């Protein structure tokens, strides 16, 4: 099986090289046979990487420990679900998985465009195959996932226990889908630059892809946060670790692009800027991979470090040089006919939002590479941690949410005082009222009051948009409220889907603000029967239990959760925080237990248990509103779904395009 | 609705294009400056020097009272942990030269053989560390850790204690020929570890 896999990646690499050559030559000579050959190579590439993934999967499932990858990342007692996830649990597997997702994206792009974009497609094919060939070359020449050991260990050393968690089975795939699919807009951007066809075609073709990759980046980040929250056991979900930053930066620039592209569609402006954002987003995904693979920057949970750094660096430089070179070459064609007219306009609000998003991306980038830069410049390594990122990004984040309220409703071109008043009187009033109310209710943190205020403002503008649109339909079409609402959304999916996404983002924002500002924490050493109170909850240590099987040894505490303090407390539940000892890698882990409500999470950690003194050490956190981050993620998913769902016109267009082939009326 | 244009803004056309552009450039540079200032002040107030134990030992006075991140190894037999008060004390020692290369590379810098050789005399450069809180899962004697905090009165008061992850995390760098002989233990990782330690 390993030979089949090895053969598949070698052939895949050769096929990719052929496809690149054929596509580029075909495009230059306008030879449709060569172009078709490149297209077929793209399909073959997908099939071959698919075979390689299946081969590795079957080796894992057959527990063939003679294969180094299988021995390193699984064991005979690893549950089947995690054995599958071991496919991307190690570096080699994750590179293969990455290539496979890219190949699937490539095949889908080929299918979608089989009758379209004839001039651009060879360049798209070539670009995507270049990226694919790069990743595959690492597997073929440097780090072979099908490598066999000179001996067969009786047992594998198991998947890292920290990765044996359900979030970890879905976090990497979604993040990779997000990372990899940024290649599609990038490839079309390169094709547009190469062919000089810089109109709206490439943007319209990749609109859904851009949203798709943005969405999966968002999900990947949220899943990663959820994983950190339930697995790492320090009471938080985001530590501004380089690996996290690597996933966050492309999301920021992708968000900027989704907004600025609307300005290009409506006003034919910001063409160069949009190109830059697409190139930047793709480069940041490669940079992210470079960060996590090279070990240039220390990361507490970067789980792989290897000698691949220079290759990624080289590839990154090549990408930047080629794409920026092309961009400069085509600058004369990217002139815009329109100019910004007023600071009080939607264009300006979007531009501002873009500047802030890119500003945040830059601060994250700067903070991440700061140790390297300071060592170059001053010869001493200086690091910045979470306090740096929080300090810089708190005001920027609040400004962003404020603009989120402004952008959707401010007038295009130039807003008059009159229109500003009409659009913003109610939302601004709502925001000020919410801020004041929170102050009266005892919130004294400046940022928290401000955040509550801008979040209410943003929600109010969205609410008014829905409300007014619905009322207009009710009045003009005589529709019932719910019909009016659903048709309003249905006729204008992008706009109202976007608003729903905004609501999701505000929820996530409030979850972040509340859980960072109002977090409570307590550490206590307890004997059975001892109780502690925190933030209106009481926890009582009721006893310790042990469980043991082949795979893992578990020690867990029974802790009852009470609402209130003292004699009036009412028991509301029980949590079972746990210490585990995974036997194959001989590694202890902490399993937190969370009592979750919409208001707050009670997060209980069993720090240690000492059998001699029978003392159990607990760490308890109260994290307010954290559930809203996950609910916000759900709302964001619904909103994206609304945006992505084909409109009525698009659906009928596809049907009528297909109709002649099958259902010609007699 | 809100997007309706007003007839009155014709007056704007009189402004020369350049000055309008200038206005936006000014607006944009205000934001860029604001971000730069935010970064600058935050770096000044939150940054910490990242040193190895031997680097610290060479310039201890210069770093007294400053925010530091220190990378080193938990010295065997020096760990004192009180589960009642959650007080932890241990001595942090330099990471031995043979492991330092791999680790320093992983921690973001190039290995400096000079410092590593100087560290051979480990006893001189050990530093007491105090910490209060729950121990990380990976904390143990002979493990490599990163502590963050300040040195006061010759004692490192750590606010955070991070354990760098053991060999599991760098499993891609072993020599297969060294592991060629059938390992005595049934654990592959142990075999690979010992293979790596005896070059």
Give pLDDT tens digits for A623-643.
999 999 999 999 999 999 999
Q: Which residue has the higher pLDDT, A599 or A587?
A: A599
Beta bridge partners of B150: B157
Query: What value does the mean pLDDT of chain A take?
Result: 89
| Region A434-438 average pLDDT | 93
So what's the pLDDT on residue B175?
Answer: 28
Shared domain check, B54 and B125: yes
Under the banding of pLDDT at 50, 70 and 90, the label for residue A113 is very high
So what's the pLDDT on residue A340?
Answer: 74
- B188 has a chain A CB within 8 A of its CB: yes
Q: Is B34 a member of any domain?
A: no
Shared domain check, B151 and B127: yes
Q: Which residue has the higher pLDDT, A662 or A397?
A: A397
Q: Is B14 a member of any domain?
A: no
Q: Do A381 and B50 touch (CB under 8 A)?
A: yes
* Alpha carbon separation from A369 to A246, A298, A339, A384 (Å, rounded): 11, 10, 36, 9
Q: Compare all CA atoms of chain A with the CA of B134 and give the residue at the minimum distance.
A: A607
Shared domain check, B176 and B143: no
| Region A541-549 average pLDDT | 92
The complex's ipTM works out to 0.77
Shared domain check, B195 and B100: no
Under the banding of pLDDT at 50, 70 and 90, the label for residue A656 is low
Under the banding of pLDDT at 50, 70 and 90, the label for residue A655 is low
Chain A contact set for B28 (CB, 8 A): 351, 355
Shared domain check, B161 and B178: no
The pLDDT tens digits of the residues spanning A199-243 come to: 888 898 898 999 999 999 999 999 999 988 988 888 889 988 888
Shared domain check, B95 and B192: no
Shared domain check, B192 and B112: no
The pLDDT tens digits of the residues spanning A346-380 come to: 888 898 999 999 999 999 999 988 888 888 888 88
Shared domain check, B175 and B161: no
Residues 6+ apart with CB under 8 A from B103: B71, B95, B144, B164
So what's the pLDDT on residue A433?
Answer: 95
So what's the pLDDT on residue B180?
Answer: 30
Q: Do B169 and A157 touch (CB under 8 A)?
A: no
- B13 has a chain A CB within 8 A of its CB: no
Q: Where are the beta strands (DSSP E) in A438-563?
A: 520-526, 531-534, 537-548, 552-563
3-state secondary structure of B129: strand
Under the banding of pLDDT at 50, 70 and 90, the label for residue A52 is very high
User: Cβ–Cβ contacts within 10 Å for residue A585, how many?
Assistant: 20
Check if the beta carbon of residue A526 is closer than 8 Å to that of residue A532: yes
Q: How far apart are CA A404 and CA A458, in angstroms?
A: 6
Residues 6+ apart with CB under 8 A from A404: A353, A458, A502, A505, A506
Q: Do A343 and B24 touch (CB under 8 A)?
A: yes
Shared domain check, B179 and B160: no
- B18 has a chain A CB within 8 A of its CB: no
Residues 6+ apart with CB under 8 A from A411: A344, A345, A346, A419, A423, B2, B3, B4, B5
Q: At A105, which helix (H) or strand (E)?
A: helix A91-112
Q: What is the DSSP string of A40-99?
A: HHHHHHHHHHHHHHHHHHHHHHTT-TTBHHHHHH--TTS-HHHHHHGGGTSHHHHHHHHH
Percent of chain A with pLDDT over 90: 57
Shared domain check, B64 and B145: yes
3-state secondary structure of A647: coil
Closest to A267 (Cα-Cα) out of A347, A199, A327:
A347
Q: Is B41 a member of any domain?
A: no
User: Cβ–Cβ contacts within 10 Å for residue A629, how many?
Assistant: 24
CA distance B153 to chain A (A): 23
Q: Do A371 and B108 touch (CB under 8 A)?
A: yes
Residues 6+ apart with CB under 8 A from A43: A107, A110
Q: Is B77 a member of any domain?
A: yes
| Region A100-112 average pLDDT | 95
So what's the pLDDT on residue B165?
Answer: 56
| Region A147-169 average pLDDT | 83
Beta bridge partners of B44: none
So what's the pLDDT on residue B124?
Answer: 56
Percent of chain A with pLDDT over 70: 95
Residues 6+ apart with CB under 8 A from A417: none
Q: What is the DSSP string of A112-165?
A: HTTTS-TTTHHHHHHHHHHHHHHHHHIIIII--TTPBPSS--SS-----GGG-S
Shared domain check, B119 and B198: no
So what's the pLDDT on residue B97?
Answer: 64
Number of domains in chain B: 2
Residue among B42, B49, B146 minimizing CB distance to A382: B49
Q: Do B50 and A356 touch (CB under 8 A)?
A: no
DSSP code, position A597: -
Check if the beta carbon of residue A219 is closer than 8 Å to that of residue A633: yes
The CATH number of the domain where B92 resides is what? 2.40.50.140
Check if the beta carbon of residue A404 is closer than 8 Å to that of residue A462: no
| Region A323-339 average pLDDT | 86
So what's the pLDDT on residue B16?
Answer: 56
Closest to B162 (Cα-Cα) out of A43, A232, A388:
A232
Q: Which residue has the higher pLDDT, A337 or B57?
A: B57
3-state secondary structure of B160: strand
Q: How far apart are CA A361 and CA A285, in angstroms?
A: 13
Q: A412-448 as b/e, with b when 16 or more CB fall inside 10 Å?
A: bbbbbeebbeebbeebbebbeebbeebeeeebeeeeb
| All structural domains of chain A with their residue ranges | 1-159, 520-627
Residues 6+ apart with CB under 8 A from A328: none
Q: Do B48 and A382 touch (CB under 8 A)?
A: yes
3-state secondary structure of B143: coil
The pLDDT tens digits of the residues spanning A171-207 come to: 888 999 999 999 999 999 999 999 998 888 889 889 8
Q: Is B1 a member of any domain?
A: no
Largest CA distance in chain B: 89
Domain that holds residue B154: 49-165
Q: At A276, which helix (H) or strand (E)?
A: helix A271-294
User: Cβ–Cβ contacts within 10 Å for residue A372, how many?
Assistant: 14
- Ranges of residues in chain B with a pLDDT under 70 are 1-18, 20, 97-124, 164-199
So what's the pLDDT on residue A663?
Answer: 42
| Region A258-284 average pLDDT | 91
The pLDDT tens digits of the residues spanning A282-306 come to: 999 999 888 876 656 655 444 445 6
Shared domain check, B149 and B187: no
| Region A432-457 average pLDDT | 93
HSE at residue A374, side-chain half, CA atoms within 13 A, is 20
């Amino acid at each position: 099986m390993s030979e089949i896999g090895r053969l598949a990646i070698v052939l895949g690499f050769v096929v990719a090289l052929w496809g690149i050559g054929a596509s580029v030559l075909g495009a230059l000579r306008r030879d449709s046979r060569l172009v078709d050959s490149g297209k077929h190579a793209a399909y073959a590439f997908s099939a071959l990487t698919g075979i390689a993934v299946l081969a590795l999967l079957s080796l894992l499932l057959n527990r063939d420990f003679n294969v180094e990858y299988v021995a390193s990342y699984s064991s005979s007692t690893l549950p089947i679900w995690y054995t599958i996830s071991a496919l991307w649990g190690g570096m080699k597997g994750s590179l293969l998985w990455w290539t496979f997702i890219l190949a699937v994206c490539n095949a889908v792009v080929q299918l979608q465009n089989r009758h379209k974009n004839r001039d651009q497609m060879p360049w798209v094919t070539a670009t995507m195959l270049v990226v694919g060939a790069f990743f595959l070359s690492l597997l073929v020449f440097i780090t072979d996932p099908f490598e066999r050991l000179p001996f067969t260990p009786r047992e594998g050393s198991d998947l890292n226990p920290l990765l044996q968690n359900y979030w970890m089975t879905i976090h990497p795939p979604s993040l990779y889908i997000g990372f990899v699919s940024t290649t599609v807009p990038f490839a079309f951007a390169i094709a547009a630059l190469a062919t000089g066809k810089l109109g709206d075609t490439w943007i319209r073709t990749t609109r859904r892809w851009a949203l798709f990759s943005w969405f999966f980046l968002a999900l990947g980040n949220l899943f990663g946060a959820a994983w950190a929250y339930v697995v790492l056991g320090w009471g938080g979900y985001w530590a501004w670790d380089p690996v996290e930053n690597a996933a966050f930066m492309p999301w920021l620039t992708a968000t900027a692009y989704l907004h600025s592209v609307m300005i290009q569609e409506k006003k034919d402006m910001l063409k160069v800027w949009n190109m830059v954002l697409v190139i930047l987003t793709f480069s940041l995904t490669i940079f992210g991979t470079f960060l996590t693979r090279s070990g240039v920057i220390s990361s507490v949970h970067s789980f792989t470090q290897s000698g691949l750094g220079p290759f990624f660096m080289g590839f990154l430089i090549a990408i930047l040089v080629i794409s920026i070179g092309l961009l400069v070459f085509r600058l004369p064609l990217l002139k815009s006919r329109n100019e910004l007219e007023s600071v009080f306009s939607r264009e300006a609000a979007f531009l501002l939002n873009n500047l802030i998003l890119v500003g945040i991306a830059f601060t994250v980038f700067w903070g991440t590479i700061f140790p390297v830069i300071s060592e170059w410049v001053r010869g001493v390594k200086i690091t910045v941690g979470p306090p740096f990122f929080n300090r810089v990004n708190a005001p920027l984040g609040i400004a962003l949410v404020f603009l989120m309220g402004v952008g959707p409703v401010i007038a295009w071109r130039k807003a008059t005082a009159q229109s500003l008043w009409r659009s913003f009187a109610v939302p601004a009033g709502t925001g000020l009222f919410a801020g004041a109310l929170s102050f009266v209710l005892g919130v004294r943190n400046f940022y928290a009051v401000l955040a509550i205020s801008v979040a209410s403002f943003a929600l109010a503008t969205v609410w008014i948009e829905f409300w007014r649109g619905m009322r207009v339909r009710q009045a003009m079409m005589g529709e019932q409220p719910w019909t009016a609402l659903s048709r309003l959304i249905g006729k204008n999916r992008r706009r109202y889907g976007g608003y729903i996404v905004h609501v999701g983002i505000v929820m996530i924002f409030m979850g972040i603000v509340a859980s960072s500002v109002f977090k409570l924490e307590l550490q206590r050493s307890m004997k059975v029967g001892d109780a502690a109170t925190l933030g209106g909850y009481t926890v009582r240590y009721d006893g310790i239990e042990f469980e043991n099987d082949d795979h893992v040894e578990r020690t867990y505490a029974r802790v009852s959760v009470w609402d209130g303090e003292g004699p009036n407390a009412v028991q509301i539940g029980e949590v079972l925080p746990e210490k585990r000892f995974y036997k194959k890698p001989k590694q202890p882990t902490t399993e937190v237990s969370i009592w979750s409500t919409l208001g707050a999470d009670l997060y209980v950690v069993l720090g240690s248990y000492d059998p001699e003194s029978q003392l159990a050490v607990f760490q308890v956190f109260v994290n307010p509103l954290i559930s809203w981050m996950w609910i916000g993620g759900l709302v964001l998913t619904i909103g994206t779904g609304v945006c992505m769902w084909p409109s009525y016109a698009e659906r009928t267009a596809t049907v009528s395009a297909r109709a002649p082939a099958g259902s010609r009326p007699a | 609705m809100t997007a309706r244009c007003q007839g009155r803004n014709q007056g704007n056309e009189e402004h020369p294009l350049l000055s309008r552009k200038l206005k936006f450039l000014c607006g944009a540079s205000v934001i860029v400056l604001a971000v730069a200032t935010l970064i600058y002040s935050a770096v000044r107030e939150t940054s910490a020097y990242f040193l190895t134990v031997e680097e610290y030992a060479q310039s201890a006075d210069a770093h007294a009272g400053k925010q530091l991140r220190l990378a080193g190894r938990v010295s065997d037999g020096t760990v004192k942990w009180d589960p009642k008060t959650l007080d932890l004390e241990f001595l942090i020692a330099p990471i031995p030269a043979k492991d330092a290369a791999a680790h320093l590379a992983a921690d973001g810098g190039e290995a400096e053989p000079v410092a590593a050789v100087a560290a051979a005399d480990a006893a001189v450069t050990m530093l007491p560390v105090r910490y209060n809180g729950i121990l990380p899962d990976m904390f143990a004697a002979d493990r490599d850790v990163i502590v963050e905090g300040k040195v006061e009165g010759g004692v490192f008061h750590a606010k955070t204690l991070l354990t760098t992850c053991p060999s599991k995390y760098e499993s891609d760098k072993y020599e297969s020929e060294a592991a060629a002989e059938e390992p005595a233990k049934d654990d592959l990782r142990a075999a690979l570890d010992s293979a790596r330690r005896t070059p």
